[in-house]
């Protein structure tokens, strides 16, 4: 499990590349973990051209819906707007598991309000909370 903590006022998208670099996918048998997942499922906030091109360059399938404003911009440009990005709505339905996990973490008041001043302390609290929830 990779937990990356960024500044509270910073958006999630700038930290995406750093989080993807920290991902390790364990193999079924023996061997070192893979550093490239088969696909990445994310919400509309991660539907930028930079993120999609980064995933495409690494050969990772992006399961990210296109926001309405990006659809409008693409359609307004006509044939120069390009094709819409591929999207698998069935695979996107599994994203609710991630959202439910975040909601369970946010049941802990210290995690939801981020009272800790230092990122190291907050990351430790998130890790401890995740372990406690996993053991239940």
Tens-place pLDDT, residues 72-93:
888 998 888 888 888 888 888 8
| The overall pTM is greater than 0.85 | no
At residue 119, the pLDDT reads 82
Residues of the chain with pLDDT under 70: 1-2, 8-9
Residue-range domain boundaries for the chain: 106-136
Q: Which long-range contacts (CB under 8 A, 24 or more apart) does 87-95 make?
A: 87/63, 88/61, 88/63, 91/39, 91/41, 91/63, 92/41, 92/63, 92/65, 94/41, 95/41, 95/42, 95/43, 95/63
Contact predicate 133/104, CB 8 Å: yes
At residue 114, the pLDDT reads 79
Q: Which of 86, 82, 28, 32 is nearest to 55 (CA)?
A: 86
Rg (CA), the chain: 17
Question: Which tokens hold the place of 45?
Answer: 């906030």
């Amino acid at each position: 499990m990779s937990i990356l903590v960024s500044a509270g006022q910073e958006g999630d998208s700038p930290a995406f590349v750093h989080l993807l670099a920290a991902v390790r996918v364990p193999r079924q048998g023996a061997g070192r973990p893979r550093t490239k997942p088969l696909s990445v499922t994310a919400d509309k906030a991660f539907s930028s051209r930079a993120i999609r091109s980064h995933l495409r360059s690494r050969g990772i399938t992006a399961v990210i819906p296109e926001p309405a404003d990006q659809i409008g911009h693409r359609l307004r440009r006509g044939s120069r707007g390009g094709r819409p990005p591929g999207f698998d709505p069935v695979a996107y339905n599994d994203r609710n598991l991630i959202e439910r996990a975040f909601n369970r973490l946010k049941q802990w008041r210290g995690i939801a309000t981020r009272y800790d001043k230092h990122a190291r302390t907050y990351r430790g609290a998130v890790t401890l909370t995740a372990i406690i929830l996993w053991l239940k």
